[in-house]
Structure 1
Amino acid sequence: MEILDIGEVAERTGVPASALRYYDEIGLVTSVGRRGLRRQFGPETIWQLSLISLGKKAGFSLKEIAAMFGKASVVELPRQTLHARADEIDNQIRDLTVLRDMLRHVADCPAPSHLECPRFRKLLRVASRPASRR
């Protein structure tokens, strides 16, 4: 079994050693020992860190991500939770698209006053609606 030093793991994954130590302390990853004061990790740590990074990018908390790691490093991805999160991301994309369009229009609008511009006023109405009604 290939054993990786904390510095090697940090270099390969881009995850700072301080984060690796924290993840080890809270049980997200598990060090297999130490060489002097430096923690050593198994090769599975690399894919675990990739999943942690992906989970964080998707908006999951470390606690939620930890729940996805079962016993013996078995990943238990809750499909319903993933679908719900994907739906939330779709809503964020729609909201951000409206915001982007508004900013571009405001930057380029030839109207003397933005409030005189019908398109700007429409964008304001859409932006002020609750997300569930957009």
Structure 2
Amino acid sequence: MDITEVAKVSGLPASTLRFYEEKGLIQSIGRNGLRRLFNANVIERLTLISLGRNAGFSLDEIGDMFRSEGPDINRTLLLAKADELDSKIKELTAMRDGLRHAAACNAPNHFECPKFLRLLRVAGKNRVRQGNKLKESKAKHT
């Protein structure tokens, strides 16, 4: 398959495919003129990359799971990511419930509503946690 076909089937722009190739996530098998050529199994690999990205894995984490003979899934990392998703689901569920309550709350001022104030505390904790994660990520890459 040439890069245009892969882009069409995968829904990814050719620039993303070239970037993934530069990062070693996919490999072309040659060229037809200026166009890169790929094995048909590149679609499976792109699907796995997409799944990993949707689950919150970085491209480097995904790349570490690829071997020439096939994926080598890091089960410990999968379990850790599943735990992160469980935590995020819990936070989002609490936020959704708080927003619904705030929309229907009869308090004259939302700052007088205990449930709304709990929502604010949760949002504040998430902002602090995200700031800490960003700092950790920057420190890791320097």
Give TM class, smaller chain.
0.7 to 0.9
- Which letter maps to 2:38? F
Q: Deviations over 1:50-85 (max 9, x none)?
A: 00000101111111100100124x110011110110
Higher RCO (C-alpha 8 Å, min separation 6): 1
Report deviation, 1:44. 1.2
Normalising by structure 1, we get a TM-score of 0.85
* Bigger Rg over Cα: 1
Q: Does 1:31 align with 2:24?
A: no
Q: Does 1:88 align with 2:88?
A: no
Q: Deviations over 1:83-128 (max 9, x none)?
A: 1100000000111111111122112211111233343344445x26
Q: Percent identity?
A: 52
Where does structure 1 differ by over 2 angstroms across 4 or more consecutive aligned residues? 115-125, 128-131
Q: Tell me the SS of whatever aligns to 1:43.
A: coil
Gap change, CA 1:54 and 1:113, over 3 Å in 2:
same
Gap change, CA 1:42 and 1:128, over 3 Å in 2:
closer
User: 2-side partners of 1:90 and 1:9: how far apart?
Assistant: 34
- Which letter maps to 2:115? R
| Aligned residue in 1 for 2:7 | 10
| Aligned residue in 2 for 1:52 | 49
Q: Does 1:120 align with 2:112?
A: no
1:107 to 100, 103, 106: 103
User: 2-side partners of 1:38 and 1:109: how far apart?
Assistant: 59
Runs (5+) with no aligned partner, structure 1: none
- Which letter maps to 2:73? L
User: 2-side partners of 1:58 and 1:122: how far apart?
Assistant: 28
Compute the RMSD of aligned alpha carbons.
Answer: 1.8
Normalising by structure 2, we get a TM-score of 0.81
Equivalent pairs counted in the alignment come to 126
